[in-house]
Structure 1
Amino acid sequence: MQLFVEQLTNVDFSYLDAKRGLVGETWWASAVLDGALDEQGMVCDFGIVKKTLRNWLDDELDHRLLLPVNSPALTLKHSGDIIELSWHGDNGDLLEMRAPRQAVALVDAEQITAKSVAHWCREQLRSHFPVNVEQLTLSFVAETIDGASYHYSHGLKKHNGNCQRIAHGHRSRIQIWLDDERSSALEQQWAERWADIYLGSKEDLISEQDGQLLFRYSAQQGEFELSLPASRNYMMNTDTTVEFIARHLADTIKQQHPDSRVKVRAFEGVNKGAIANA
């Protein structure tokens, strides 16, 4: 017998890719459980499935940087509760990070894909379900987006939760109106401009040398430091909350179209975001 739960939850995170560099991503998570019926006539109570999986994914995957620990491009160093990493991309890009251990997920794989992450999660979750559950199958899929979207990573040092982690991200839709008419051209322009981008806050920038930017800040969870190529960064004069992102986009587009009314709906992952007018 099989029990299934579709679109149980969504996870927002970033990962390292040999070609794309630091990639912000959002996936829907679904699950199938194989097993015998228990004395209640169930494979597993839906309440247990939802709570167990959702809590585990929230704790171990969501708002983390996923690292393919078997990749030759990755070098890791542990020092107590601190992790340091160095990543050399195929194009010569160098990314380095120093952060608390809870800011990353160490995925036993050579590369981060929906399939490799699902397999890793399943192995970690084996002992979390009743003995009559013989197999757990997880699957991850990206949101179906009809229109423009971009992948971005960032960190919010003032956030009291996990958004303070310096390299987590999202895959997000963008919607732009000029004088009450959707502009697919502007949406696509920003989607291309912010493809696999790191949105950095100027006040967190420590140095720029040889084409590398160094960001550093202190937050509730600890000290965070990230170095990446300037070509992979877009600098903002504010924090990078979705509210500031929407306002920045609206104000920037207004400068380019001063005689038009501008409206921006900027998404942060799935089905949430901010609206700004200019």
Structure 2
Amino acid sequence: MKLFVNNLTNIDFSYLHTERGLMGESWLVQLQLDGALNDQGMICDFGIVKKVVKEWMDTFADHVLLVPVGSDQADLQYHDQQAQLTWHYKEGEALVCQSPAQAIIAVETPEITPQSLAQWCEAKLKALFPGEVKGLKLHFVAEPEQGAFYHYSHGLQQHEGNCQRIAHGHRSQLHIYRNGQRDSLLEREWAERWQDIYLGTTAHRQPDPKPGVYAYCYQAPQGQFELSLPASRCYDLDTETTVELIAEHLAEQVKAVFPDDSIEVHAFEGIGKGAISVR
């Protein structure tokens, strides 16, 4: 007998890709359990399934930076509840991140894909279920494409929750309206400009450690966060990078190019949520 839960939750996170480097991502979680029926005629109560899986995902996969420690590009060390990460890009550049340990998760795989991450999660989750559950299968799926989208990473210093982590991210759609009509060309232009981008805040910028490298640092409720990476992979805002302020920034930029047009920007933060700015 099998039990399934589609779209049980979704996770918003960043990970390190062997070719593209730091990438924000958003995936839906699909779950299937295999097992015998208990004396209530169930494999496991849906309420328990959802609670156990969501709590685990919130801790180990959501709003974190996932590092494929099986890759020779990764050097991740933990000391006294702190994480020290160096990721070597194939072009010779590097990303360096220091943060509280819970913000950077080591995944024992050479690369992170929906399949490899699912297998890693399955092994961890299976132990949390009662004996009636004989097997557990997990699938991660991206939101169906509905036009332009981009992957971005960021950190929100002033956020009281896990959004304060300096390198977490999202896969986000972008809708831009000019005079009430979607402008797919503008959407693609901005999505390409921000593909795999790190959205930083100017106030968090530190003196550049060397030419071509941007460094960010801030103190947040969970601790000290530091990140440096190639400047070509960064785009700074003069504000925090909440989705509301991202929408405002995009609307201002588009309005500056088309001052006589009415502009409306729908900026998404992952799946099914976001902000609207009108100019």
| Fold similarity call, TM over 0.5 | yes
Instruction: Let me know the Cα RMSD of the aligned residues.
Output: 0.7
For 1:111, give the aligned amino acid: E
> What does 1:65-84 align with in structure 2 at a 5 Å threshold?
65-84=65-84
State the Cα deviation string for residues 193-249 of structure 1 (Å, max 9, x = none). Answer: 000000000000002222011100000000000000000001111000000000000
Matched, 1:185 2:185: yes
**Counterpart-to-counterpart distance in 2, 1:206 and 1:228:** 12
State the Cα deviation string for residues 96-142 of structure 1 (Å, max 9, x = none). Answer: 00000010111110101111111111111122111010011011011
Deviation at 1:256, TM superposition (A): 0.5
- Equivalent residue, structure 1, for 2:262: 261
Q: Which moved more, 1:219-228 or 1:203-212?
A: 203-212
State the Cα deviation string for residues 138-165 of structure 1 (Å, max 9, x = none). Answer: 1101100210000000000000000000
**Counterpart-to-counterpart distance in 2, 1:256 and 1:93:** 34
**Counterpart-to-counterpart distance in 2, 1:9 and 1:219:** 27
- Equivalent residue, structure 2, for 1:104: 104
> What does 1:127-276 align with in structure 2 at a 5 Å threshold?
127-208=127-208, 209-276=210-277
Deviation at 1:78, TM superposition (A): 1.8
For 1:153, give the aligned amino acid: S
Unpaired stretches in structure 1, ≥5 consecutive residues:
none
Unpaired stretches in structure 2, ≥5 consecutive residues:
none
Deviation at 1:90, TM superposition (A): 1.7
State the Cα deviation string for residues 9-53 of structure 1 (Å, max 9, x = none). Answer: 000000001210100000000100000111011111111111111
For 1:76, give the aligned amino acid: L
Normalising by structure 2, we get a TM-score of 0.98
- Equivalent residue, structure 1, for 2:62: 62
**Counterpart-to-counterpart distance in 2, 1:40 and 1:274:** 45
Deviation at 1:92, TM superposition (A): 2.2
SS of residue in 1 equivalent to 2:90: coil
Matched-pair contact (CA < 8 Å) for 1:153–1:199: yes
Deviation at 1:77, TM superposition (A): 2.0
**Counterpart-to-counterpart distance in 2, 1:210 and 1:120:** 38
**Counterpart-to-counterpart distance in 2, 1:26 and 1:90:** 25
**Counterpart-to-counterpart distance in 1, 2:8 and 2:72:** 33
For 1:32, give the aligned amino acid: Q
For 1:88, give the aligned amino acid: H
For 1:51, give the aligned amino acid: K
SS of residue in 2 equivalent to 1:251: helix
**Counterpart-to-counterpart distance in 2, 1:207 and 1:38:** 61
Matched-pair contact (CA < 8 Å) for 1:17–1:89: no
**Counterpart-to-counterpart distance in 2, 1:186 and 1:139:** 33
SS of residue in 1 equivalent to 2:264: strand
**Counterpart-to-counterpart distance in 1, 2:76 and 2:38:** 44
Report sequence identity in percent.
Answer: 51
Q: Which moved more, 1:158-167 or 1:100-109?
A: 100-109
For 2:128, give the aligned amino acid: H
